[in-house]
Amino acid sequence: MSDKYRVVIVGAGVVGSSIARVLSMYENFDITLVEKEPDVGWGASKANTSIVHPGHEEEPDVHPLRAKLCVKGNEMWRTWAKELEIPVTFPGELMVFTNDEEEKKAREYIKLARLNNVPGVRIIYQEELRVLEPNIAREAKGAVYAPTGGLISPFEAVIAVVENAVENGVKLMTETEVLGVKVSEGRVKGVETNRGFIEADIVINAAGLYSDKITHSAGVELNFQVKPRKGEYLLFDEDIPVKPTRVLHTTPTPITKGVYAITTVHGNVLIGPTAEDLPIEAKGDASTSVKGLDYVYQEASKLLREMPPRSRVIRTFAGLRPEPPGGHWLIKAYSDPWGFVNAAGIRSPGFTSAPAIAEYVANLISETFDIKLVKKTNWNPYRRDITRLNNRPLSEIDELIKKNPAYGEIVCYCKTVSKAEILEAVDRMIKTGIKTITLDGLKFRTYAGFGMCQGAFCRWRIAKIVSEKLGVPLYDVTVKRTKYGIGDVKTLWVERKG
Amino acid sequence: MKTLEYDTVVIGGGPAGIAAAIKATELGLKTILIENRDLLGGIPLQCVHTGFGLHYFKEDLTGTQFVTRLLDKLEKLRVEYLLKAHVHSIEYLDYDKKLVNVVTPQGVVRILTKTIIYTTGARERHLYEIGVVGDRPDGVYTAGEAQTLMDIYGIMPGREVVIIGSGDVGLIMARRFALEGAKVKAVIEILPYPGGLMRNVMQCLRDYNIPLLLGHTVVKVVGKKRVEKVIVAKVDENFKPIEGTEFEIPCDTVVLSVGLRPYLKVLEKLGIHIDPATGGPVVNEYLETNIPGVFVAGNALVVNDLVDYAVEQGELAAEGAKVFIENKGIPTKNWKLVEKGRNIRLVVPHAVSGERDVIIYARVANPERNVYVQIPELGFRLFSYGVRPAEMIWFKLRKDMFSKLGADVNKITLEVKPR
């Protein structure tokens, strides 16, 4: 046995993954990242508005940690995105107001921006607003402009962070659900999972929506409850005439929470979310509703001078965001039980703050458990993105094909994704430690199936590549959580007769 | 990257493309056919049912038999083709010079051509664009995907099936599922009449006791991991679900057959004009788009009921390419626009010359009995016992009909009138 601290991180969302990456910089830890889903980032980290918040919406006296870490996280993602080749842009955010009442409300955010040291935030009016956002709705009167507002590909960010963490020695275990934290003699001993017991000296709870259950099992914060808050979204095709150039946001008022209209880093128009508080038992209910989708469509029309037609919708989805009591993040390291750490109830702006939360947690661990952190000399900060054909000049595509003919076999027509990209994604998933190769996991890594046809053309082609690569029958390939088919027609006939 | 030169490049190796390539070769054009799969034939390859070729071959064939016949002819004529070839982009250099950039496993091939015949077919509409809400579980397939799985790869997607939409592919897949021992719980159609051909309603549903729920819609898909059930409701005259009429159908599989849309991604980037009614391009009687020398045929032009029409359009586009090359452009000077009159939802082509015979394809907006399909300007009138949106109206206008038309008349109107 080494003298390293054995660390188990519960939950491979953006928070858990970022903590894994930051801890992997140090010699002191032997880290296992545990995720109950088949892939990383499938909880709140995946289904959100994909914004890197500037940090001017957090009240520093009510939520000091949120205010501090959001601003810092916004800064850190710039570096992380470069190191890890994560698609990100920083077009700035416009919180749009249409009347005096909203303007008054909007002005309060200017104050918060000062208090939080968010750079460059100011009020802009008509002409300047129209220069900054040519596609703004006619009724827009002005906006709070926050130049540091950004957009990120959230699912790719988590994938990239985990790939890099694994490269630096972290072990990922998917489809591993933590049933409880084992505590004895005032210390954590490990976690009980559906795949057996994992010994640990330090257990970090980054279980998002389920982080209340985990902390209860460790015997602390017994009154802490995380409620699901649902957000519904409409995602449109890339080929829409009027697209937002900035992060557009209606001003949150006491009545409405504010809806965003953005152009994602992949070029799609995304509008949403709703903000619907669900009962605590409804943690599995990410269903969409006609009412919710109609609402966000209606609200977004206050932002854009021309709304994309509903017929250009390529996907509707909903995400469940964890909502802790009072909106307070629970980030704490415990000396009783020694070795337990909460990074629990991380609600918005959790994605933006994740890298900063991770650093904060590393310091907490060092201080609380009296561990002198020692940096690895060979820590690798870099991760290369998958080599893609999309948006690549023809001459380069030709060169790629000369090296590997699989680049010349196009599988997804909408997004120009080749067989080589699918195979690279499969290899990476295996290398990362993902137990089951899912078609959904490949979609998020390669963009195959992201287009107007939503996989009607390519899903079976990709399934076939996976089936050949893994040597399993086509029907045995996993879509998201279940198999693509129930079996071979002939075999099923024999079974039915028998 | 190597560059090749041709008179015409046919993009898409389904029935329309094969027919276009054959015809263009017969007309003496230097032709190449580009297909992105590893075999020619397109969608009919996975159609084991009959109903193909009644017009074109005057025989009732399966999809596979139908394309095999076309392919025999293609081989005999030694038409050139490229497989596993994906058209990445098209560059318009001049009216008779276009560069087609093709990605193949051998590298990028650039093809300089005078004309293009685009026959890439249609895509299937999916769950999200028709506004179905609820969970997003596994077990949802488009009808075409389910057909590929069953009839090409021999695998069963599921056991208890609900089919959304009564388009022809959906009806045919209902029967395929029933034949393979699945339980088809229902076919749900939002319209008050079936979306597919009447013969398919009879042969695929009635003969297998599969319920067809007209005037109903799936309002919600429910399932944690895999589909568990769908919630169905009656709809009012505006196709809105009527509250209180909801009921659930337990199932593990949802198959979508809610219509096709022409798939024209590469051409859209080139700036072709789209007709919102067909979802395909605006074309003249040679099936030429607003971009000179670019022709479109088959389901990429307009969603056809019959493969025979797609083949006919392919041949027509090839003739267009020939006329284009011989005359350095389509010679017609005075186009007459074809306008949509009473109860016409779509019509193709959008402009005719009156200089030669022309075939008109159209669909009505609503079913109607005992009607005339007519073009008043030409004194043309056709009696029909019934017209249905699911059944394409097909007729030929002879050149001599246009002689009655004054030289200053620049439009004709297609309409449906009660007798």
Residue keyed to tokens 């998020």: A444
Query: First and final CA of chain B: distance in angstroms?
Result: 62
What are A227's two structure tokens? 């409620």
* Mean pLDDT for the stretch of residues B204-216: 97
| Lowest mean pLDDT across A33-47, A332-346, A448-462 | A448-462
Told to judge if A53 belongs to the known catalytic residues of this protein, a careful annotator would answer yes
Which residue, chain included where needed, has tokens 């999200």? B128
Closest CA to A230 of A283, A179, A156, A266: A283
- What region does B4 belong to: left with phi over 0, alpha with psi -120 to 50, or beta? beta
Query: In this predicted model, what pLDDT tens digit does every residue of B14-39 receive, in sequence order?
Result: 999 999 999 999 999 999 999 999 99
If you average pLDDT over residues A260-282, what whole number do you get?
96
Give B88's contacts in chain A (Cβ within 8 Å).
394, 397, 416
Q: Is the confidence at residue A442, as pLDDT, over 80?
A: yes
User: Is residue A403 classed exposed, middle or buried when 0-12, 13-18 and 19+ CB atoms within 10 A define those classes?
Assistant: exposed
Alpha helices by DSSP H, listed for A198-249, are 211-217
SS (H, E, C) B343-392: CEEEEECCEECCCCCEEEEEEECCCEEEEEEEEHHHCEEEEEEEECCCCC
Give the closest-approach CA distance of B63 to chain A in angstroms.
19
Task: Provide the chain A residues 148-167 that lie in CB contact (below 8 A) with chain B.
Answer: none
> Which residues on adjacent β-strands are paired with residue A288?
none
Chain A positions in Cβ-Cβ contact with residue B124 (cut-off 8 Å) = 453, 456
CA distance A339 to B333: 85
Q: Do B88 and A313 touch (CB under 8 A)?
A: no
Domain end: B258, B277, B310, which one? B258
Report the candidate in B357, B358, B319, B324 with the shortest Cα–Cα distance to residue B27: B319
Q: Do A401 and B158 touch (CB under 8 A)?
A: no
Closest to A485 (Cβ–Cβ): which among B110, B156, B225?
B156
Architecture of the domain delimited by A394-489 = Orthogonal Bundle (1.10)
Among partner residues A239, A394, A489, which is closest to B108 by beta-carbon distance?
A394
Helices A439-446 and A459-470, interaxial angle, to 10°? 110
Residue A255 has pLDDT above 80, yes or no: no
Give the distance from residue A236's alpha carbon to the nearest chain B alpha carbon, in angstroms.
10
Q: Do A402 and B107 touch (CB under 8 A)?
A: yes
Output the CA torsion sign for B244, B250, B251, B252: positive
Note whether B123 contacts A389, CB cutoff 8 Å.
no
Q: Is the dihedral of CA A163, A165, A170, A176 positive or negative?
A: negative
Please indicate whether, in this complex, the C-beta atoms of A489 and B180 are within 8 angstroms of each other.
yes
For residues B117 and B141, state if they share a domain: no
Strands A5-10 and A202-205: parallel
Q: Which residues of A154-177 are buried (b: 16+ CB within 10 A; e: fewer)?
A: bbbbbbbbbbbbbbbbbebbbbbb
> pLDDT tens for residues B312-344?
999 999 999 999 999 999 999 889 999 999 999
Shortest Cα–Cα distance, A295 to chain B (Å) = 14
- What does the block give as tokens for A248? 């557009």
Considering only the beta carbons, identify the residue of A395, A453, A481 that sits closest to B225.
A481
pLDDT digits (tens, 9 = 90+) for B107-165: 999 999 999 999 999 999 999 989 899 999 999 999 999 999 999 999 999 999 999 99
Q: Is the Cβ of A427 closer than 8 Å to some Cβ of chain B?
A: no
Q: How many CB atoms lie within 10 A of CB B179?
A: 13
d(CA A75, CA A259): 24
pLDDT tens-place string over residues A73-86: 999 999 999 999 99
Contacts of A393 in chain B (CB under 8 A): none
At A231 the pLDDT is 96
Q: Which of B104, B126, B139 has its CB closest to that of A454?
A: B126
Of B279, B299, B331, the residue that ends a domain is B331
Q: How would DSSP label each residue in A252-270? A: P-SS----EEEE-TTS-EE
Both ends of chain A: CA-CA distance in Å? 55
Nearest CA in chain A to B220: A289
B10 and B157 share a domain? no
pLDDT for position A492: 82
Average of per-residue pLDDT values in chain A: 96
* A351 vs A14: CA distance, rounded Å: 6
Q: Chain A 98-127, CB below 8 Å of chain B: which residues? A: none
pLDDT at B405 exceeding the cut of 90: no
Q: Give me the pLDDT at residue B169, please.
A: 87
Number of A to B CB contacts under 8 A, please give it. Answer: 148
B138 and B254 share one domain: yes
Euclidean distance between CA atoms B120 and B125, whole angstroms: 16
> Any idea what the CATH number is for the domain that residue B165 is in?
3.50.50.60
Q: In which domain, by residue range, is B271 found? A: 1-124+259-331
CA distance A454 to A415: 10
Residue of A415, A489, A494 to mutate, interface with B, max B Cβ within 10 Å: A489
For residues B320 and B344, state if they share a domain.
Answer: no
Residues in A 445-474 with any Cβ partner in B closer than 8 A: 452-454, 456-457, 459-460, 464, 473-474
- B235 and B178 in a common domain: yes
For A102, list phi and psi in degrees, rounded to 5. Answer: -65, -35
Distance of alpha carbon A400 from alpha carbon A416, whole angstroms:
14
A351: its two tokens: 């994605």
Task: Give dist(CA A255, CA A246) in Å, integer.
Answer: 24
> In this complex, which of B88, B123, B138 lies closest to A480 when CB atoms are compared?
B138
For A46-67, the DSSP string reads: TSS--EE--STTS-TTT-HHHH
Alpha-carbon distances of A257 from A51, A105, A123, B131, B137, rounded to whole Å: 16, 12, 20, 24, 29
The Cα B314–Cα B14 span in angstroms is 10
Q: Are residues B246 and B263 in the same domain?
A: no
- Sorted by where each begins, the domain ranges of chain A are 1-87+150-226+324-385, 93-147+227-318, 394-489
- Average pLDDT in the A382-393 region? 96
- What is chain B's length? 419
Distance (Å) from the alpha carbon of A481 to chain B's nearest alpha carbon: 6
Identify all chain A residues contacting B128, using CB atoms and an 8 Å cutoff.
313-316, 454
A290 to chain B, any CB pair closer than 8 A? The answer is yes
Query: A287 and B133 in contact by Cβ < 8 A?
Result: yes
Has residue A178 got a pLDDT over 90? yes
Residues B80 and B188 in one domain: no
pLDDT bin (cut points 50, 70, 90) of residue B304 is: very high
Structural domains counted in chain B: 3
CATH fold label, A1-87+150-226+324-385: FAD/NAD(P)-binding domain (3.50.50)
- Write down the CATH number for the domain with range A93-147+227-318: 3.30.9.10
Residue of A nearest to B241 (CA): A290
Q: How far apart are CA B89 and CA A394, in angstroms?
A: 10
How many Å lie between the alpha carbon of B327 and the closest alpha carbon of chain A? 33
pLDDT higher than 60, residue A498: no
Do B194 and B264 lie in one domain? The reply is no
| Catalytic pick among A53, A56, A249, A266 | A53
Shortest Cα–Cα distance, A475 to chain B (Å): 6
More confident residue, A122 or B198: A122
Give the whole-angstrom CA distance, residue B256 versus residue B183.
Answer: 16
In terms of Cα–Cα distance, which of B203, B165, B213, B162 is closest to B183? Answer: B162
Q: Strand A29-34 vs strand A5-10: parallel, antiparallel, or unpaired? A: parallel
Dist CA B170 CA B196 (whole Å): 8
**Chain B residues in contact with A475 (beta carbon < 8 A):** 149, 155-156
CB contact under 8 A, B149 and A452: no
Checking if the pLDDT of A1 tops 50, the result is no
- A window 303-322, beta carbon within 8 A of B: 310-317
Question: B110 to chain A: which residues are within 8 Å by CB?
Answer: 394
Confidence category of residue A260, pLDDT binned at 50, 70, 90 = very high
Q: Average of pLDDT values for B240-262? A: 96
Cβ(B229)–Cβ(B200) below 8 Å: no
pLDDT of residue A92: 98
Domain finish residue from B201, B229, B258: B258
Q: Does A197 touch chain B (CB under 8 A)?
A: no
Looking at the structure, do residues B136 and B254 belong to the same domain, yes or no? yes
CB contact under 8 A, A474 and B153: yes
How confident is the model over A141-169, as pLDDT tens digits?
999 999 999 999 999 999 999 999 999 99
Answer yes or no: do A486 and B1 touch at CB < 8 A: no
Q: Which chain A residues contact residue B131 at CB under 8 A?
A: 290, 293, 310, 313
Residues of B in contact with A472 (CB under 8 A): none
Task: Please check whether residues B159 and B229 belong to one and the same domain.
Answer: yes
Q: Closest-CA residue in chain A for B253?
A: A485
Question: Which pLDDT belongs to residue A2?
Answer: 62
Of all residues in chain B, the one with the smallest CA distance to A283 is B224
CB of B359 within 8 A of CB of B284?
A: no
Task: With a cut of 70, say whether residue A256 has pLDDT above it.
Answer: no
Render pLDDT for B335-379 as a digit per residue (tens, 0 to 9).
999 999 999 999 999 999 999 999 999 999 999 999 999 999 999
Q: Evaluate whether B301 touches B283 at the Cβ level (below 8 Å).
A: yes
Nearest Cα residue to A262 out of A130, A89, A110, A125: A89
